[in-house]
Amino acid sequence: MAWYTVKRLIQGIITVWFIATATFWAMHEVPGDPFIGEKAVSPEVEANLKARWGLDKPPLEQYWIFMTNMLQGDFGISFAQESRSVNDIILERFPVSAILGILAIVFAGLGGVLYGALTALYRNQWPDVLIILLVIIGISVPSFVFASVGQLILVVINQILGFNVLPVAGWGDISHMLVPALVLGLGTMAFLTRLMRSSMLEIVSADFIRTARSKGVPAAQVFSRHQLRNAVLPVITVLGPSVASITTGGFVVENIFGIPGLGQSFVLAVQQSDYGVIMGTTVFYGAFLVLMVIIVDLLYAWIDPRVRLE
Amino acid sequence: MSDIGTYSFRRAQVDLDREEISRPSLSYWQDAWYRIRTNRRTLASLFIVVFMVLVAAFGPILWHFDYDTQDLNQTSKPPWASRSMTVIEPYTPWLDRPAVERWSDTGAPADIQAIGFPSIEFVRLTWSPVQGATRYTIYRTIVDPEGGPLGLPLGNVIGESENSYEDRIDLEQRRYWYSVEATFADGTTAASTLPIDVAAAATLAGAIESGWIDADTDLQPGDTLRTPWHPLGTDYLGRDMLARLMKGAQISLFIGIVAPLLFILLGVVYGSFAGFIGGKTDALLMRFADFVVALPFLLFMILFKLVFGIGAGESGILPMLVALVLLSWPAAARLVRGQILQIREEGYIDASRLLGTKTPRLILRHMIPNTMGVILVTFTFAVPSTIFTEAFLSFIGMGVEPPIPSWGSMCNDGRKTMETTPHELIFPAIFISITVLAFNILGDGLRDALDARMRSTE
């Protein structure tokens, strides 16, 4: 297990290096520069500013500075919001996105396992049919439609009841989080439900289930101890990629519900050509996703020893 | 055991009838087609996909509205909105204002009434003035004030005997509540309210200019004309929704089908190369594929879009295609490599080799047909996720450039007016959902038909 952990971590570090390098060179190729704008700057000022941001140096040296800064945990400075470091912005924005994402994952995971188990339990009866129908909707409707419609429904409910049951937009306490997190988690929930269902159905015909039954274990116990526990395993493997898809969805949900998260700040940075924030956020998110995948892999290896023996 | 003699063994009877194959032998693709044909869900989704492709290909040619022709007199009309419109005289200034016939005796302006035909061109009000009033303020609201706030103040008329007002501000076809409030010298006020139904109307010249009727149509003021039929309504600039949805289908399906074709082709070449070569090269190539997978997909889609830049008048489709191909190929490469490695070790490959088959024939007869099924299934699942990605990018304004519509950017436009005219959001959303759903079900069906190992357990 220790060797496996070390191996995955080394792979992860190389991957993050690759992401940072790709980001740097991609940004280097972006046409235009921050000095093209409404405010004309004199050549002296431009030279000063370039010197301050290290833009007057040859690309390879810039790359070296960028990488050493990254290694020291310095993600650069914002070009648009004066005298703010990207670390500052990430520190302010990321916790918001993280809370929203965690809540969405919790919704998706709990919902997926519960509904998946239900469908398998009531196979071809009405709960199964109903949930499968919802799954189909969940998989084929984009998250921004869910978010828009969710907001609209909230507005109507608040109007009918005459007071704000849940706020329609903004950020603050738990009441602001529930609907965005649910909307964010819906697609993943549908995907997990489908996965859980097929995994449950596959396990029904496994040898150890037959053995348990023939030994006289009560049906409820077979279901909870043998079937459910083993069926949850594949669900854990896709949690890693789910983090990525929930991050993606977060961009839209944050923008629609006016949540001050990292996704919203990234979209804003792109609109303002704030290259510092774009670079820093991309590397940060990339590293974060790599870390998440590693954690899920380790979790899975810990639960299922067959994986680390590969 | 000891007495097993030669008589224990008898010659077996050869039953030739049993050996006969009674059904015609089916090739892999014949079998797959049979499975698709007999699966109703797959067949239905196949029809939907074909239908969408036909709509995208021929719809914009056949439909008489352009996707970018604006009609600012017909903005945000839902499909069920009335198409009738009254023809009115061209506007002339209101010179013959009514004289005061009687004074109000209730302490507030009384007998409010509309003069002439209240239409979206103008509403002309008159009332009985109040003695002692210094000015009259006219308010307009779209809900019954019922003693509450009177709404938007439209303007003042100053003077005790003023008794008329003309409203030409941004009128729509609906019911308005007009209030006239008299203000007295001591600052006190008194108001009365009248609901007025404002009708849709157009002058003959205006209707001809908008292209609603032909120039030689014989219509008189007071007649009713029919505005053109928009089966799915119009958007916030009065553009025909059906035309835009069909043009959007072109864009969304083009990206959704061409990008997967390209990145799966790239993945197949890359993966089969790695799989055939094997050894260190293979390990190195696959490591690189792992790195590309680890890139945060959406952030890099946006980065690439910045890198390629979009000039004026460009649609932004090409940068999106390139970015999608550059970022999405590793999944297909991994899959194909795995397949090639697996097939290389199969018994039938050894058997075929033993029989003297040359490598090119091995590849053509065994490797490619055996990976084709999996590749086709991967392609079918890649289409809906690419449509999603495109819609998503266009939704946050990082996709195709206006006025070119895509389903994603139409959803984004529609979202802004969803509380009053939800059809602008709902129709593109339905188009995306049905197409994505059809491709997903088709993928499931194809997997069942083409890939024996992945046959689902339903």
pLDDT in tens, B343-397: 888 888 888 889 988 877 877 777 777 888 888 888 888 888 888 888 888 887 7
- Whether B432 and A32 lie within 8 Å, measured CB to CB: no
- Whether A141 and B422 lie within 8 Å, measured CB to CB: no
Residue A277 with chain B: CB contacts under 8 Å: none
Contact status of A137 with chain B (Cβ, < 8 Å)? yes
Mean pLDDT of B139-152: 78
Extract the residue ranges of chain A whose pLDDT is less than 70: 32-41, 53, 248, 307-310
Residue A148 with chain B: CB contacts under 8 Å: 411, 415, 418, 425
Is 0.80 surpassed by the pTM of this model? no
pLDDT at A34: 59
Residue of A nearest to B384 (CA): A140
List the one residue out of B264, B281, B239, B248 whose CA is nearest residue B333: B264
Contact status of A18 with chain B (Cβ, < 8 Å)? yes
Domain A94-261 superfamily per CATH: MetI-like (1.10.3720.10)
Listing DSSP states for A121-183 in one string gives: HTTTSHHHHHHHHHHHHHHHS-HHHHHHHHHHHHHHHHHHHSS-SS-SS--SSHHHHHHHHHH
User: Six-digit token pair at A107?
Assistant: 């919704």
B49, B292, B293, B298: which to substitute to probe chain A, counting the most A Cβ within 10 Å?
Answer: B298
> What is the C-alpha R_g of chain A?
24
- Whether A145 and B411 lie within 8 Å, measured CB to CB: yes
Check pLDDT > 70 for residue B86: yes
Distance from CA of B22 to the nearest CA of A (A): 33
The verdict on ipTM greater than 0.95 is: no
Q: What are the helix (H) ranges across B313-402?
A: 317-344, 347-354, 359-362, 368-395
Residue B36 CA to its chain's centroid (Å): 28
The 10s digit of each residue's pLDDT in B397-452 is 777 877 888 888 888 888 888 777 888 888 888 888 899 989 888 888 888 777 66
| CA–CA gap between residue B380 and residue B265 (Å, rounded) | 13
- Give percent above pLDDT 90 in chain B: 4
pLDDT at B118: 81
| CA–CA gap between residue B348 and residue A288 (Å, rounded) | 45
Contact status of A196 with chain B (Cβ, < 8 Å)? no
> What is the C-alpha R_g of chain B?
36
| CA–CA gap between residue A35 and residue A40 (Å, rounded) | 8
Of B291, B398, B429, the CB nearest to A15: B291
Contact status of A62 with chain B (Cβ, < 8 Å)? no
Of A144, A247, A267, the CB nearest to B411: A144
Q: Which sign does the torsion angle of CA B328, B329, B330, B331 carry? A: positive
